[in-house]
Amino acid sequence: MSMDQIQVWQGRVQANEALYASYWRLLDNEEQARAQRFSHRVMHQQYVEIHGRLRLLLAQLLSTAPESLVIAKTAQGKPYLVNYPALAFNLSHTQDRFLIAVAWHCRVGIDIEVVKPRASLEGLVNKCFSELESQYWHRLDNADKTDLFYRHWTRKEAFVKATGAGISVGLNQCEINPEGPLAILSLPLQCGRPTDWFLQDLDLGVGYCGAIVADKPLSSIIDIQSL
C-alpha cells in the first residue's frame, strides 16, 4: 500500500458459523466484552465477524499478526492503532454490509447507509442540517427527499468520524453544499478550515449511500475493493 493512497474496502457479513470462533479469537478483551453486550445473536455475530475481518485486513497491510494489534480509542471514542499511529482507519457498517477506509498520515472517515423511507427524516433534517441544507431539502419533490437525505447524511457522518469528535461537533454546524460542486462550505472553528478537508461520494450500488472524507486530497483513492 502506497503512503499516498487511501484504500476503501467493502464486504458483506458471511454469517459463517464455522468461521465465528476464528474471528472471536482475534479480538482483544475489550472487543470481546463489547460483543457480549449485544443481546441479539445476529448483531453479536456481525460485530465479531466485522471486527475480526478488520483486524485481518490491517494485519495484512502491516505484515503482522492480527491478534497482536493493539487498538485503543481516543477520549472521543475514535479507534487507532497504538503501535502504528500513522496508519489511520475507519469502519462503517449497515445491516450486513460494511466499509473500511485505510490511509497513512491523515485523518479519514467513512460512512455507509441503507436508503430507506423513515418517518423521522424531516425531524433529523431540522435538527442536523444547516439552514441552507434544510431549505434545499424542503424544496425538493417528495420522491427525491429520501435519496438526498441519505446522500447528505453520509457526507456529514464521514466528516465527523474523520475529525474524531463525533456528532458532538454539531452536525448542523458542518455545512456541505447540497447542490454542487461537492464541497464543505463552513465548519466549527475547532474543525479547521473547510479547505483543509476533502470529500467524495462513493458508488455502492442501488439502495446504498456512502461517502469518505480525509484531510488530504482524495485524488489518489483507489477503487473500492472487496473483502
Task: For 92-101, write each residue's pLDDT tens digit.
Answer: 999 999 999 9
Give the confidence band of 165 by pLDDT, cuts at 50, 70, 90.
confident
Residue 47, all three cell numbers: 460485530
Query: Please, which pLDDT band fits residue 205 given cuts at 50, 70 and 90?
Result: very high
- Sole residue written with cell 441544507: 133
**Residue 124 near residue 137, CB atoms below 8 Å:** no
pLDDT digits (tens, 9 = 90+) for 58-88: 999 999 999 999 999 998 889 999 999 999 9
Compute φ and ψ for 28, nearest 5 degrees: -85, 180
The class that CATH gives domain 114-205 is alpha beta
Backbone conformation region of residue 202, classed left if phi is above 0, alpha if psi is from -120 to 50, else beta: beta
Share of the chain above pLDDT 90, in %: 79
Q: Provide DSSP, 150-218.
A: HHHHHHHHHHHHHHT-GGGGTGGGSEE-SSSS--EEE--GGG--GGG-EEEEE---TTEEEEEEESS-G
Where are the CATH 3.90.470.20 domain residues in the chain?
6-110
Which of 180 and 186 is assigned the larger pLDDT? 186
- Is the pLDDT assigned to residue 167 strictly greater than 70? no
- By DSSP bridging, strand 6-12 and strand 208-214 are unpaired
Name the residue among 171, 126, 181, 178 with its Cα closest to residue 152. Answer: 178
- Centre a 10 Å sphere on the Cβ of residue 170 and count the other Cβ atoms it contains: 15
Greater pLDDT, 3 or 152:
152
Pick the CATH number of 6-110 from 3.40.50.300, 3.40.50.150, 3.90.470.20, 3.30.450.80: 3.90.470.20
C-alpha cell at 73: 480509542
